Amino acid sequence: MRSAGTLWTRKHLLGMEGLSREEIGALLDTAVSLREVNRRDIKKVPTLRGKTVINLFYENSTRTRTSFELAGKRMSADVVNMSVASSSVKKGETLLDTLANLQAMNPDVVVIRHPESGVLEFLARHLDAALVNAGDGRHEHPTQALLDLLTIQDQLPLLGQSRFAGLVVAICGDVLHSRVARSNAIGLQTLGAEVRFVGPATLMPSQAAEAFGATVYHRLEEGLAGAQVVMMLRLQNERMNSSYLPSVREYAEFWGLNRARLRQAAPNAIVMHPGPINRGVEIASDVADDPERSVILEQVANGLAVRMAALYLLCGAGVRR
Amino acid sequence: MENRSVLIQGGRVLDPAHGRDETADLLVVDGVIQAVGRLEAPAHCTVVQADGLVLAPGLVDMHVHLREPGHEYKEDIASGCRAAAAGGVTAMAAMPNTQPVTDDPSVVGYILERAKSTGLVRVFPIGAITKGLKGEMLTEMGLLLRAGCVAFSDDGRPVTDSGVMRRALEYARMFGALLIQHAEDLSLVGNGCMHEGVVASRLGLPGIPSAAESVLVDRDLRLVALTGSRYHVAHLSSGDAMRAVAQARAQQLPVSCEVTPHHFSLTDEAVLGYDTDAKMSPPLRSQADRAALLEGLAQGIITVIATDHAPHDEENKRVEFCCAANGVIGLETLLPVSLELVRDGVMSLSDCIAAMSCNPARLLGIPHGTLGVGQAADMVLFDPEETWTVDARQLRSKSKNTCFHGRRVKGRVKQTWVAGRSVYRDGHD
Amino acid sequence: MSPTFHDEQLLSPAETLALIDALAARLHASPPPRSLPWEEWVVIGIRRGGARVAERLWERLCQRLGQKIPIGFLDITFYRDDLDTIGPNPVVGATDLQMEIDDRQVILVDDVLYTGRTIRAAMNALFDYGRPESVDLLVLVDRGGRQLPIQPHHVGLVIQPAEGEFIKLLDSGEKMHVVRRRLQE
């Protein structure tokens, strides 16, 4: 009999790095089961009654925080939100102290978003609670990648695929600063998909091909050619006031996704975006809103289910530690 | 009173400065090396049996941060000297990025006084190139040399302004002084906190390209060609910079460079897991860079091994990677990690010891790093075969930020002498 | 290492089907007192074993009635009370209740009734979907050992297994059958 002991034994969800195909499968399967809960009148199950989940956000993100909060609540966990202004975070000792204080309250899971890469690995070495990475710097954002994988998985039949193997996914935009791109690239590779990174050279990680097994394109048209999944990344405003890019106008002109460019992709290609969208910058409104192509709202719905699944598996994984 | 006559019997006496490598006895009287050869113990003489051990000149580490004055909670001269003695280091050059900065003769005097009263080993201050390490106004190099400085550096930061660097070289040349550059183009460093490459990309950490170093080394070498001044690259980390130095040396320019044990023995993969004890400036680089550094050592282009011993307290290391202080300690691991070069056939034992003794001593113009008769008896006796595991908690430095914790190493210091006085004995400190 | 076990057949595939058919016949012949008309009935199987029993029972019941009544399936994974002792089950089946259950008469079907915890969880789950008029419990095998005040209305077989024995419905392919399972060290 398959059981949790063989499929999910991790204490933390720190990233897609290191997750096996089976572990990703377990998480997605659980999420699929939990989606049904979100469609009922009574959108709540008692599974995590008596468990405490703390959302600790060092960066503003109403969407992700709300998604985790709702996920916890629909599983009947007690959810506490803590937002910490980035400006007050200067020293790591403060972070460790904050977490130590939280730990004294004996939470079962702490969900953390932080502007610096690697913070969760650091905390995991010093704290007992199960940690979920809700985005650390430009490193990883595993629940976003998992919800993207679930969204793609739903679309596989329409894309003429039975599996991820051989699927062509183009991740486009500011790859350098994107934890979404990193986590997706790692997860997609684990499942056997072909990953492309498409974007300006100034926004591409060093040695991306070696680091992620991705093929790098600088021209959007080339990167999109034949792609079945087009994943657009959000362009952060602060990139504009630096030497990364000359202007929004130029970026939209060369790397913005519009209808004409989308025709380069595979005939049924789907368009994804982690949100929030910069309309008219990385993606044209008519593409983002096209129900035939855009699965952006499915991504949001799947986000909730994936986060419920993550909390469920982590809350129980402690049993077999 | 301590007996000032010591006979070290039957060891392998290795003195690269004099091309000596033989089994012999060495006699020290009143802190000075009296004779080397087959010797009888005179009356009232301490005899040390050294069979199977190597007797070498006390190591000279030309790149150390002793943190005193100003950051005594990280290290002080006394604790730094204890660590040095345990590592077989009998002389070290202290970098000027203290608080206050060693940019004034009074600070030089303070350091020398503290070293004399509390220190076990010899401390030679390095003066700042520019006042307050700000990269703007030159320090009083003449007065600093007279006060006891052996070289100049703004280490921790580069001299970025080309005009200032040119004048610093010109000015130092009049005194024959050595300028040591921390070579990094800060605009290429940006907010980088590790080597730019596959590992940084995977970890999502902003990277520092190797070019950050070579760009500045290239510039400096042009200025050396212009001024003819003595120039030394601190903690060389990249293959390109190594090759630039090689070319300059081939053109007979007065250029030298050093490498640290961590740069020649580790790569950026040590950062995996966001280990802040693998964070330093310049960063651990790629396998190709490391291979180039080994080549530089083998070819005699890199003539000095120095630790860049940079103690940091736990509060500055037990933090997010990006916020962690740069630097690792190295005095107590210098010898065994460097001996890996001999084990791996990169260089001979004699060349390896020379890179940690007579070579840096010559650059600094100090009369140490040799076992010549008539020289002060600064010596290290070590067992080249003994293996041990580095344990950060066992190290004598006040700070424990070593990147070699848990490493199995071979070669252990058994005893260290400064001017004939035993300052460390294995198991007796 | 997963423990090994020894299975001894309790009901052959044919006997298993016959037992379910008998239950359908009995249910049809003597519906519970004060029960609603057949149109208001719903058969709901508890995943996984109960679902197989429910499917067969429903087929036979519909045959006898000459009309289709609704059938649904309930996965109770998220309603279990043992997350802290057995850990999460990442192989969760989907709940499939297409019909309204408000004011209906529910026949809740499971394969083997033991402690009663599964039924407790199933009733909690059921009531998150609506408010049935009444719920009857039908089980293929009642093996005793209850830990909660739960009794079935319709039982195919009552048996008392020996210490350390478990009763399992195996449903490899079409060959649904019941075994006594004894764990071996």
The CATH number of the domain holding residue B191 is: 3.20.20.140
Same domain, A103 and A163: no
Token couple for A309: 């699944």
Looking at residue A317, its pLDDT comes to: 58
How distant is the Cα of B290 from the closest Cα of chain A, in angstroms? 18
In a domain, C124, yes or no: yes
Same domain, A28 and A65: yes
- Is A75's CB within 8 Å of C95's CB? no
Q: Which of B201, B210, B268, B313 to mutate to test the interface with A (most CBs of A within 10 A)?
A: B201
| Chains interfacing with B (3 or more CB pairs < 8 Å) | A
Whether B325 and B73 have beta carbons less than 8 Å apart is answered as no
- Residue type, position A10, single letter: R
Which of B201, B315, B321 is the closest to A206 by Cβ? B201
Token couple for C163: 């210490």
- What residue numbers bound the domain in which B84 lies? 58-364
B322 touches chain A (CB under 8 A): yes
Structural domains counted in chain C: 1
Looking at residue A94, its pLDDT comes to: 74
- What residue numbers bound the domain in which C21 lies? 15-28+38-81+92-166
Same domain, A172 and A39: no
Question: Which residues of chain C lie closer than 8 angstroms to A47, CB-CB?
Answer: 77-80, 83
Which of B200, B273, B320 is the closest to A206 by Cβ? B200
A238 touches chain B (CB under 8 A): no
SS (H, E, C) chain B: CCCCEEEEEEEEEEEHHHCEEEEEEEEEECCEEEEEECCCCCCCCEEEECCCCEEEECEEEEEECCCCCCCCCCCCHHHHHHHHHHCCEEEEEECCCCCCCCCCHHHHHHHHHHHHHHCCCEEEECECCEHHHCCCCECCHHHHHHHCCCCEECCCCCCCCHHHHHHHHHHHHHHCCEEEECCCCHHHHCCCCEECCHHHHHHCCCEECCHHHHHHHHHHHHHHHHHCCEEEECCCCCHHHHHHHHHHHHCCCCEEEEECHHHHHCCHHHHCCCCHHHCCCCCCCCHHHHHHHHHHHHCCCCCEECCCECCCCHHHCCCCHHHCCCCECCCCCHHHHHHHHHHCCCCCHHHHHHCCCHHHHHHHCCCCCCCCCCCECCEEEEEEEEEEECCHHHCCCCCCCCCCCCCEEEEEEEEEEECCEEEEECCCC
In a domain, C4, yes or no: no
How distant is the Cα of B200 from the closest Cα of chain A, in angstroms? 8
State the catalytic residue, choosing from B25, B154, B308, B378: B308
Residue C31 pLDDT class (50, 70, 90 cuts): confident
Looking at residue A2, its pLDDT comes to: 43
In a domain, C5, yes or no: no
Peptide bond into A142 cis (omega under 30): no
Q: Identify the three-state secondary structure at position A53.
A: strand
Which DSSP category does C2 fall into? P
Distance CA A129, CA A132 (A): 10
B405 touches chain A (CB under 8 A): no
A52 touches chain C (CB under 8 A): no
CATH for C102? 3.40.50.2020
- What residue numbers bound the domain in which A247 lies? 143-296
Structural domains counted in chain B: 1
Q: Which of B195, B205, B210, B274 to mutate to test the interface with A (most CBs of A within 10 A)?
A: B274
In a domain, B409, yes or no: no
Same domain, A308 and A193: no
| Chains interfacing with A (3 or more CB pairs < 8 Å) | B, C
In a domain, B32, yes or no: no
Show Cβ contacts of residue A101 under 8 Å, excluding neighbours closer than 6 positions.
none
In a domain, B388, yes or no: no
Same domain, A184 and A103: no
Same domain, A280 and A234: yes
As a whole-number percent, the residues of chain C with pLDDT over 90 amount to 59
In a domain, B184, yes or no: yes
Show Cβ contacts of residue C139 under 8 Å, excluding neighbours closer than 6 positions.
C109, C110, C111, C112, C113, C152, C154, C155, C156
- Is A3's CB within 8 Å of C87's CB? yes
How distant is the Cα of A119 from the closest Cα of chain B, in angstroms? 6
In a domain, C175, yes or no: no
Query: Which residue in C76, C86, C16, C78 sits closest to C46, CA to CA?
Result: C76
In a domain, C130, yes or no: yes
How far, CA to CA in Å, does B356 sit from each of A177, A230, B370, C60? 43, 57, 11, 92
In a domain, B289, yes or no: yes
Question: Which residues of chain B lie closer than 8 angstroms to A182, CB-CB?
Answer: 202, 204
B323 touches chain A (CB under 8 A): yes
Same domain, A155 and A133: no
In a domain, B166, yes or no: yes
Which of A46, A315, A316 is the closest to C124 by Cβ? A46
Residue C180 has phi, psi (to 5 degrees) of: -90, 130
Looking at residue A6, its pLDDT comes to: 59
Structural domains counted in chain A: 2
**For residues A259, A261, A267 and A273, what is the CA-based torsion angle, rounded to 10 degrees?**
-70
Which of A7, A41, A319 is the closest to C86 by Cβ? A319
DSSP secondary structure of A192-248: T-EEEEES-GGGS-TTHHHHH-PEEESSHHHHHTT-SEEEE----GGGGGSSS-S-H
A86 touches chain B (CB under 8 A): no
How distant is the Cα of A316 from the closest Cα of chain C, in angstroms? 4
A58 touches chain B (CB under 8 A): no
**For residues A302, A16, B288 and B243, what is the CA-based torsion angle, rounded to 10 degrees?**
50
In a domain, C151, yes or no: yes
Looking at residue B3, its pLDDT comes to: 54
C/A Cβ contact: 3+ pairs below 8 Å: yes
* Strand B379-389, strand B54-57: pairing: antiparallel
How distant is the Cα of A308 from the closest Cα of chain C, in angstroms? 11
Same domain, A276 and A315: no
Looking at residue A241, its pLDDT comes to: 64
In a domain, B14, yes or no: no
Query: Within chain A, which residues score under 70 in pLDDT?
Result: 1-6, 85-93, 240-241, 317-321
Which of A30, A33, A315 is the closest to C83 by Cβ? A315
Whether B192 and B219 have beta carbons less than 8 Å apart is answered as no
Which value does ipTM take for this structure? 0.90
Query: Does the annotation mark B103 as catalytic?
Result: no
- Closest residue of chain C to A11, computed from CA coordinates: C87
Question: Which residues of chain B lie closer than 8 angstroms to A98, CB-CB?
Answer: none
- Is B322's CB within 8 Å of A116's CB? yes
Looking at residue C163, its pLDDT comes to: 87
C-alpha B242: how far from chain center: 18
Residue C20 pLDDT class (50, 70, 90 cuts): very high
A166 touches chain B (CB under 8 A): no
Distance CA B195, CA A289 (A): 41
How distant is the Cα of A129 from the closest Cα of chain B, in angstroms? 18
CATH for A111? 3.40.50.1370
How confident is the prediction along chain B (429 residues), in pLDDT tens digits per residue?
455 799 999 999 999 999 999 999 999 999 999 999 999 988 889 999 999 999 999 999 999 999 999 999 999 999 999 999 999 999 999 999 999 999 999 999 999 999 999 889 999 999 999 999 999 999 999 999 999 999 999 999 999 999 999 999 999 999 999 999 999 999 999 999 999 999 999 999 999 999 999 999 999 999 999 999 999 999 999 999 999 999 999 999 999 999 999 999 999 999 999 999 999 999 999 999 999 999 999 999 999 999 999 999 998 998 889 999 999 999 999 999 999 999 999 999 999 999 999 999 999 999 999 999 999 999 999 999 999 999 999 999 999 999 999 999 999 999 999 999 999 998 765
Which positions in chain C have a beta carbon within 8 angstroms of at least one beta carbon in chain A? 75, 77-80, 83-95, 124-125, 128-129
- Is A91's CB within 8 Å of B205's CB? no
Question: Which residues of chain A lie closer than 8 angstroms to B321, CB-CB?
Answer: 116-118, 122
